Amino acid sequence: MATRGVTQIEGTIAVVPKTQLAVFNTLAGAAATDYDGLFFIADAAYQVTAVVERHAVLGTDGGAVTLMVKKVPSGTAKAAGTDVLSAGLSLKATADTNQAGTLHGTAANLQLAIGDALGVVPTGTLTAVDGVTVRVSLTRIP
């Protein structure tokens, strides 16, 4: 028996959360290699509903310095993943200020299947960028 948000498993009722937060953080003194890897692997189907980024120290390089959240299916390199945002978030924006990302206009870019992962891909030279936190809000797809 299953009702919205509740699943019954062998006579025990387990509450299944409808929302999930996935968080990526860099530590103080972060380098480009601190952006390697993935920070969330889906255990169910999810829809990305929001992305918020905040950094403690802004980038000082002369060129653009951005961060893109990628949806990465199993067997795919992170850089070849699908953009979740319509444009990268500026790591040269005001420090210590929340920056809401604009979600991609294609619905499929925002839907994660079981086993899909999330990662961040910076572009530009990360000179001085530090203390980056990215929060991705997800809603479970029934």
**Residue 91 half-sphere exposure, CB side, CA atoms within 13 Å?**
28
Position 17 scores a pLDDT of 63
Max intra-chain CA distance, the chain: 61
Position 16 scores a pLDDT of 56
Place of tokens 């006579």: 11
Position 35 scores a pLDDT of 85
Is pTM beyond 0.75 here? yes
Residues of the chain with pLDDT under 70: 1-17, 28-30
In DSSP terms, 13 is beta-bridged to 8
Token pair, residue 26, equals 């860099």
pLDDT (tens digit per residue) in 39-79: 999 999 999 999 999 999 998 888 999 999 999 999 999 99
Q: What domains can you pick out in the chain, each with its CATH number? A: 17-140 (2.60.120)
Tell me the CA distances in angstroms from 102 to 42, 81, 85, 112, 135, one per residue in order. 21, 17, 6, 17, 13
Q: Assign 34 to helix, strand or coil.
A: helix
Q: Is the Cβ–Cβ distance between 61 and 129 less than 8 Å?
A: no
Q: Is the Cβ–Cβ distance between 28 and 129 less than 8 Å?
A: no
Q: Is the Cβ–Cβ distance between 10 and 127 less than 8 Å?
A: no
